[in-house]
Amino acid sequence: MVDPFLLLAVFVTALAAVAYFVFASFVYGAGYQPTPRRVVERMLEYAEVASHDRVVDLGAGTGAIVFRAARERGATVLGVEVEPIRILILRLRRLIGGPRGRVTIHWGNMFDIDLSTADVVTCFLWPGAMQKLRPKFERELAEGARVVSHWHPVPGWRVAAIDPALHVYYYRWPTAKPNPNAASSVA
């Protein structure tokens, strides 16, 4: 007969792990939701991701963008994720399906990542995180870098393309820089 306290302990631990998986990253700037297939496709298409590109996915989740950019476009991809269970999933996916040589998984805070060597930055984050990322983008992105975001725009930046149905916002740096004389830009 199984000890009921042991069962309860297992149940509570499993529940805590699930709650942590779902809610922990709220503290850092965005909860978890995988980027839908069609959206990933549009993001990669807008940014014209190719094999010579170095892509950085800020908040890599379980890898919807990371692995497609690496496998289908041949890009070199850095996936940055703060939540450890998702890091484990990302590392397992990399180990099992690869491509190991072109995918790097970094466990840490995306605000600490240097973006100066990125050709393409992808994100699916919350508005507060986009707001905080804007000055970082402006400080660090190299000329010619592209940023593509799902659901939330980079506040104040000028878009190069938008898919309103899929909520995809595409920017080229430095042309995304807001014109101080313009009446308005995409908020």
Ligand X SMILES: C[S@@+](CC[C@H](N)C(=O)[O-])C[C@H]1O[C@@H](n2cnc3c(N)ncnc32)[C@H](O)[C@@H]1O
* Interface with ligand X (CB under 6 A): 25, 28-30, 32-35, 57, 59-61, 64-65, 80-83, 86, 109-111, 124-125
- Cβ proximity to ligand X, 69 vs 141, nearer residue: 69
- Cβ proximity to ligand X, 33 vs 51, nearer residue: 33
- Cβ proximity to ligand X, 82 vs 147, nearer residue: 82
In angstroms, rounded to a whole number, what is the distance separating the alpha carbons of residues 57 and 120?
8
- φ/ψ bin of 167: left (φ > 0), alpha (ψ from -120 to 50), beta (otherwise): left
- Cβ proximity to ligand X, 34 vs 144, nearer residue: 34
- Alpha carbon distances (Å) from 73 to 46, 55, 68, 93, 121: 13, 11, 7, 17, 15
For the CB of residue 36, give the shortest distance to ligand X in the complex, in Å. Answer: 9
For the CB of residue 38, give the shortest distance to ligand X in the complex, in Å. Answer: 13
Closest residue to ligand X using C-beta atoms: 59
Decide if 154 contacts 168 (C-beta within 8 A). no
For the CB of residue 86, give the shortest distance to ligand X in the complex, in Å. Answer: 5
Q: How is 70-100 classified by DSSP, letter by letter?
A: HHHH--EEEEEE--HHHHHHHHHHHHHH--T
For the CB of residue 13, give the shortest distance to ligand X in the complex, in Å. Answer: 21
